[in-house]
């Protein structure tokens, strides 16, 4: 069964010519218990699709984000 998560950056971050702000929230769906279990693939795709933000280029670890399961 797929789970939906709301992922929110904890703080503003500038890295490698990109910027991430707390207003840049995404909702991702994944079959795992965490949106970062699969290397954050769903999170990366959502940020690229919605904001043009390259999660890998910015070297964002899981600790830069808060996430909450939506029910």
Task: Show the tokens assigned to 6.
Answer: 């709301």
- Mean pLDDT computed over every residue of the chain: 92
Share of the chain above pLDDT 90, in %: 72
Predicted TM-score (pTM) of the model is: 0.88
Return the ∠ at Cα 21 (arms to 19 and 24), rounded to 5°.
Answer: 110
**59 vs 2, 13, 43, 63, CA distance in Å?**
27, 10, 13, 11
pLDDT tens for residues 18-47?
A: 899 999 999 999 999 999 998 889 999 999
SS3 state at 64:
helix
């Amino acid at each position: 069964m797929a789970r939906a998560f709301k992922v929110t950056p904890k703080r503003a971050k500038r890295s490698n010519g990109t910027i991430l702000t707390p207003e840049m929230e995404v909702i991702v769906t994944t079959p795992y218990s965490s949106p970062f279990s699969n290397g954050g693939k769903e999170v990366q795709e959502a940020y690229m699709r919605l904001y043009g933000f390259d999660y890998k280029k910015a070297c964002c670890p899981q600790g830069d984000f808060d996430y909450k399961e939506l029910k």
